[in-house]
Amino acid sequence: MRGVSERIRDAVLSGKRIVLITFHLKEKGERDLEGAVHEILGRNGREDLAGPVHAAIRELVQNAAKANLKRIVFQDLGLDPANPEQYERGMQYFRDSLVESRIAEYQDRLRAENIYTRIVIQPHPNALLFSVENRFPLYPSEEARIREKFATSASIDNLYDYYMEFSDHIEGAGMGIAMIEILLRQVGLDSRAFTIHYDPVTSHTIGRFVIPLNDEFKTNRQRFDDLAKEKELPPEELRNSIQKGSLSLPVVEATPAQA
């Protein structure tokens, strides 16, 4: 049976979508992921972006894995995450008790309940799309915090400045979001190339960023802005309509195959 690295190489050569499923990313999974990033970027003449792109995906995978684990913790504690007080109580337990070394202990439980993280590398004629998905919608507190991190990182040019200004009141996930946004911007990508959103069709939360290969490709945020202008809706109303499924952004088509 061919190894994952060979199947990844074949998928890149034939222009197919690459899908990696993980419950807890271990050393071999790390190597497969890094190999996939190098293969697809090298094939499309953007090998120079391999380091930053790999770092960004790893951060999204870690955030997704922790988000999945939080669902188990809240369930076990019998807490309602929609209740701000109970959410904070659960997060305090999560921060105090579930250090990185203990996360692997939950792998069998994650497998048994099919709580996975999915990594998708998706070629498009005009761009490369990288996304990391988990199986749950964002909690209200999480969505608010993510929007805050996007807003605060938008005006800062490097991670050192961000850390110095916000280190007293940032969580790991918030720092990760800022890191990705700033890192991608520093290698010349439009800040709108990175999004985190809830997909009402799959019920997945998706962290996605795009590497344009030419000027014809529009990012999710650019399509969102275009749709807002077309429908003459304020951003929050349009966002609510998309989340409810009554409106949708134009879909970026890709080859529906996987490694």
- 141 token code pair: 């507190």
Q: Where are the domains of the chain?
A: 4-218
State residue 37's pLDDT score: 93
Residues of the chain with pLDDT > 90, as a percent, come to: 18
pLDDT given for residue 258 in this prediction: 37
Give strand pairing partners of 120: 19, 131
Output the pLDDT for position 1. Answer: 52
Q: Using one digit for the tens of pLDDT, what is the confidence trace for 244-254?
A: 777 776 555 43
15: confidence class by pLDDT, cuts 50, 70, 90:
confident
* pTM across the whole model: 0.78
Candidates 217, 226, 222, 225; CA nearest to 253 is 217
